[in-house]
């Protein structure tokens, strides 16, 4: 018994000795580690501040290039430089910000890739959620949208429409049962419950402005230096011959064909453009006035059937993009299919005679719509279509990464990635 007690006490003494030694060692190391941690953090903070400063510069002036260096306001030293994206050095719409900052012998480096995204990434974009005549449009039960959505106006929700892509706006949405004059979200939303399955931000600090006239002039200039231009109204049809993509212009029963691969993929019409056909390759059709869709516009290889399809079409109208009232009859059915990313700057993508006549079939759109004002494609009552088309819009997922040639870009940069490289301690 006495021997056991002796062993127990000896053990406790040894253990408490070990703990005491460790505590002493920790007390010695802790200040040093704390100081190191502080230096590391300072270096990291300075590096991040330089990046923030550069991002702010880009928000004010999207053409900004240059360097940012630390001054007396910073506790350490550092420099930020801008350069091209190393993976795509020729992409003028991307800029890599690299900042390097030192403090107390520690150096932190941060790299942020910024990009001016193309409007084509949106499945749905409006400047205002109103018809050109001022009527406001509601998203209803049964509406289901995929891909990124944005409005500079205010989304109006009735019931539980479903959004399977990120939704954004500078303004909070208003519910059918809510009160739009209220700033209290509960009152504003009422009992309506839209489903934002990929998240949403209704508190953006600025609008996303539609492309400037400069960008449209640039598009027309690109067409006139290596693309296809028409100085007056043009009726165009895309087609395939010998596995090559062509576009033909039909004028007074005369057809003139252009092999798309002989040009720089931009077609510009000074006037109105009528278009339909099968697209092989990547093309952007720009028109200074309206673009009228006369029949199906299909990719040679639909990305739904083959994810590796490279066929891509952008339609950029400085007027409306209108579906001709007889477009659905061109293929002998009551339906119409369009594969394209569509931009209508003045003002809408809409259907001719949308409010009259018997209901047509289904309007199948694979791509996205970017427009100043939301345009009408038909009317409905009690869940059934009364005039115009039934909508079936599917987002072309490739548009998240791939852009129709020279499709207009947003005027602001967004962050592609933010990379904090490990903090390094200098040898000295």
Interface positions with another protein (CB under 8 A): 130-131, 133-138, 140, 158, 176, 180, 354-356, 376-382, 386-387, 391
Q: What is the smallest separation between the CB atom of 126 and another protein, expressed in angstroms?
A: 14
For residue 75, which of 48, 46, 53 has the smallest C-alpha distance?
46
The alpha carbons of the chain give a radius of gyration, in whole angstroms, of 30
Q: How far is the CB of 176 from another protein (least distance, A)?
A: 6
Q: Identify which of residues 382 and 422 has a Cβ nearer to another protein in the complex.
A: 382
Residue with smaller CB distance to another protein, 56 or 135 = 135
Phi, psi (5° rounding) for residue 127? -80, -35
Report the 10 Å Cβ neighbour count for 410: 21
C-alpha of 165 from chain center:
11
279 vs 367: CA distance, rounded Å = 14
Q: Which is nearer to another protein, 270 or 373 (CB)?
A: 373
Residue 141 CB, nearest distance to another protein (Å)?
12
Residue placing its CB nearer to another protein in the complex, 176 or 418:
176
For another protein, give the closer residue by CB, 376 or 408: 376
User: Closest separation between CB of residue 247 and another protein, Å?
Assistant: 32
Residue among 216 and 377 whose Cβ is closer to another protein? 377
DSSP state of 376: -
Q: How far apart are CA 139 and CA 162, in angstroms?
A: 9
Least distance CB 317 / another protein (angstroms): 21
> What spatial distance separates the first Cα and last Cα of the chain, rounded to whole Å?
60
Is residue 236 a contact partner of residue 313, using CB atoms and an 8 Å limit? no
Q: How far is the CB of 149 from another protein (least distance, A)?
A: 16
Residue 347 preceded by cis peptide, ω within 30: yes
Residue 371 CA: distances (Å) to CA of 55, 286, 350, 375:
28, 14, 10, 8
Shortest Å, Cβ 211 to another protein: 24
- Closer residue to another protein (CB): 102 or 123: 123
């Amino acid at each position: 018994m006495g021997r056991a007690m002796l062993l127990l006490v000896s053990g406790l003494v040894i253990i408490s000795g070990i703990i005491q030694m460790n505590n002493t060692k920790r007390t010695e190391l802790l200040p040093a580690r704390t100081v190191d941690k502080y230096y590391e953090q300072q270096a990291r903070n300075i590096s991040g501040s330089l990046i923030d400063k550069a991002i702010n510069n880009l928000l004010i002036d999207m053409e900004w290039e240059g360097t940012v260096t630390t001054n007396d306001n910073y506790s350490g030293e550092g420099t930020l430089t801008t350069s091209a994206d190393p993976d795509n050095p020729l992409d003028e719409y991307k800029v890599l910000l690299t900042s390097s900052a030192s403090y107390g012998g520690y150096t932190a480096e941060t790299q942020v890739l910024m990009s001016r995204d193309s409007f084509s990434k949106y499945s749905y974009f409006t400047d205002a959620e109103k018809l050109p005549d001022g009527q406001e449009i509601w998203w209803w039960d049964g509406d289901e949208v995929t891909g990124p959505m944005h409005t500079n106006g205010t989304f109006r929700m009735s019931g539980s429409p479903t959004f399977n892509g990120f939704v954004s706006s500078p303004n909070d949405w208003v519910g059918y049962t809510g009160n739009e004059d209220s700033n209290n979200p509960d009152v504003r939303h009422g009992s309506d419950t839209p489903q934002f399955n990929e998240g949403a931000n209704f508190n953006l600090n600025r609008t996303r402005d539609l492309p400037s006239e400069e960008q449209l002039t640039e598009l027309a200039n690109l067409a006139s230096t290596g693309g296809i231009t028409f100085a007056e109204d043009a009726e165009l049809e895309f087609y395939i011959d010998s596995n090559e993509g062509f576009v033909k212009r039909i004028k007074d029963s005369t057809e003139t064909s252009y092999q798309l691969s002989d040009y720089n993929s931009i077609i510009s019409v000074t006037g109105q453009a009528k278009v339909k056909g099968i697209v092989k390759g990547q093309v952007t059709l720009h028109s200074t006035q309206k673009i009228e869709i006369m029949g199906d516009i299909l990719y040679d290889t639909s990305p739904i059937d083959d994810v590796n399809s490279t066929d891509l079409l952008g339609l950029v109208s400085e007027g409306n993009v209108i579906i001709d009232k007889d477009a659905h009859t061109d293929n002998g059915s009551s339906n119409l299919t369009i594969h394209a990313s569509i931009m209508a700057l003045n003002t809408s993508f809409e259907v001719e005679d949308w409010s009259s006549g018997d209901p047509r079939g289904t309007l199948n759109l694979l791509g996205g719509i970017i427009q100043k004002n939301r345009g009408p494609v038909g009317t409905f009552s009690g869940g059934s279509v009364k005039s115009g088309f039934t909508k079936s819009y599917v987002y072309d997922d490739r548009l998240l990464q791939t852009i129709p040639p020279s499709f207009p870009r947003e005027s602001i940069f967004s962050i592609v990635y933010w990379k904090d490289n490990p903090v390094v301690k200098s040898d000295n």
